[in-house]
A and B are shown apart, each in its own frame.
Chain A
């Protein structure tokens, strides 16, 4: 422990990470536990009477299948939002928050390059996102049998989680990148929140308007569950877009961070 900026970042965030894991598990497994109420003839009839547009906006078109249900509720909504909030907060803390607290100065006065500090911390952040995903996966696997959410293979779960990790890491990269570039925690959080809001609109609301269906392709929410990885496995195109944006944001933010003054 406490060997380098990576382990230190994880160690410092251990309590908060535990809290987030708890939230992800409780909400994720909690939603999964409601599956039997959806998976009933009465509910199917009710859903059949809903306007198609509304179901689409809520991403509920497939809700009566196990993968459709998990995609629409857990992976595409509650946990997605939890993890993006986690990603934005942690990304903002990684450089800008530490800098504004005046505590970044000390580490950078040691024989470590800014590049190393920044990248190791972002690496730690990605690891923490993977850990949260593992917590969710384990709890869903545990509860799926008892509630009858069957038919999803481990490979399909893995594909879904790959998408979710990159989705959360993308929001982390937005706030990390803006924070590293400008040293402002508020700007970092604002940028992450703006991307989340616009992404949500572009995925669920704007496509309702004729001629604006294409906006969906620009939404991180679409890259997350649009291709339904829980049924169709890895969606390489979506993953590559997210990965490419993450790399771009991290490179730009870190590049600027290496060249600017560090505030006291």
Chain B
């Protein structure tokens, strides 16, 4: 057994003259949730469809669950669950009919399992799909990806169209899958969508992987935003020397700064004055992450 679920090397995909992927090197470990982040047109969908052998690379190689998708696609797809970025199905059937058929293509998935997942996501299986809202259609997509408990879930923007409650539920399902030792590879545009669920995030830009980070490391490195409103103006010197305080600005009676590390000294310094309100905001990983990789000197960031 290998502990690498997905590995790609120098994966290139061109569509005529258009760049799809420009030499992607990816490594996803077994049992992790990997967030695959990138702006529109970066190549996320292209990557995912290459992994499932829906499209073929121009050059480079991919190994998914130790299998080359081009050689043993059927065996590979038996062990994966896939949710397309744009989950489209014939609307003239009910969710139950579709899921039964898709289950049969996998050798059968029990009715109870489908029913339980549908209930969990609050999905009505007996309505014609064309009559469902976008979010409800997306739920069918989530169910078909998870219902056979695949070793590897490959999900293209899985939470698009889902309301916050369902995004939470989805995140739980993804975490449960990895608790069983399964792997989740999911794409997204935004950090906030993957930061509660992902163990690691990789950023793809213009067909290349720009950076990979552990979410935990990012959190540790990240600085919280602090805003304190005092009853009266305070002198800046008193706070400038407090350990961990960065980017300090004092605007009359309002203090703003970023805090790296413990809050103790800052709180004690503030306590010498009358504090009207105090807020410490969780760091914006998005900002940090993009800031971080921008500093790595990646060119072509014109947009």
Contact = CB atoms under 8 A, between A and B. Distances in A.
B45 to A, nearest CB: 7
A105 B54 contact: yes
B84 A2 contact: no
A105 B84 CA distance: 8
Contacts of B73: 113
Contacts of B105: 4-5, 107, 110-112
Contacts of A109: 52, 54, 77, 80, 82, 84
B5 to A, nearest CB: 17
A106 B104 contact: no
A106 B87 contact: yes
B225 interface: no
B227 interface: no
A36 interface: no
A110 B55 contact: no
Contacts of A101: 88, 90
A110 B102 contact: yes
Contacts of A106: 82, 84, 87-89, 102, 144
A102 B56 contact: no
Nearest to A113: B74
Contact of A4 (B56, B100, B104): B104
B101 A2 contact: yes
A8 interface: yes
A108 interface: yes
Given A101-B88, A103-B89, A112-B74, A261 B101 contact: no
A183 to B, nearest CB: 12
Interface residues of B, number: 29
A102 B106 contact: no
A12 B97 CA distance: 11
A260 B52 CA distance: 14
A102 B137 CA distance: 15
Contacts of B88: 101-103, 105-106
A110 B100 CA distance: 13
B286 interface: no
A264 B106 contact: no
A4 B103 CA distance: 10
Nearest to B141: A106
Contact size class for A? 20 to 34
Interface string A39-75: 0000000000000000000000000000000000000
Nearest to B56: A261
Contacts of A8: 101
A128 to B, nearest CB: 17
A102 B55 contact: no
B78 interface: yes
A105 B89 CA distance: 9
Interface in B53-95: 54-56, 73-75, 77-78, 80, 82, 84, 86-90, 92-93
Interface string B91-135: 011000100111011100000000000000000000000000000
A85 interface: no
Contacts of A259: 56
B219 interface: no
A107 B144 CA distance: 11
Task: From A5, A12, A109, A111, name the one whose CB has the most chain B CB atoms within 10 angstroms.
Answer: A109
Nearest to A5: B105
B189 interface: no
Contacts of A113: 73-74
A262 interface: yes
B256 interface: no
Interface string A90-125: 000000000001110111111111000000000000
A259 B70 CA distance: 10
A107 B106 CA distance: 11
Interface of B: 45, 49, 52, 54-56, 73-75, 77-78, 80, 82, 84, 86-90, 92-93, 97, 100-102, 104-106, 144
- Which 7 A-B residue pairs are closest in the complex by CB-CB distance? A111-B78, A102-B88, A261-B55, A109-B82, A2-B101, A110-B105, A111-B77
Interface of A: 2-5, 8, 12, 101-103, 105-113, 259-262, 264
16 contacts: A2-B101, A12-B92, A103-B89, A105-B54, A105-B84, A106-B82, A108-B54, A109-B77, A110-B77, A110-B102, A110-B106, A111-B106, A259-B56, A260-B56, A261-B54, A262-B55
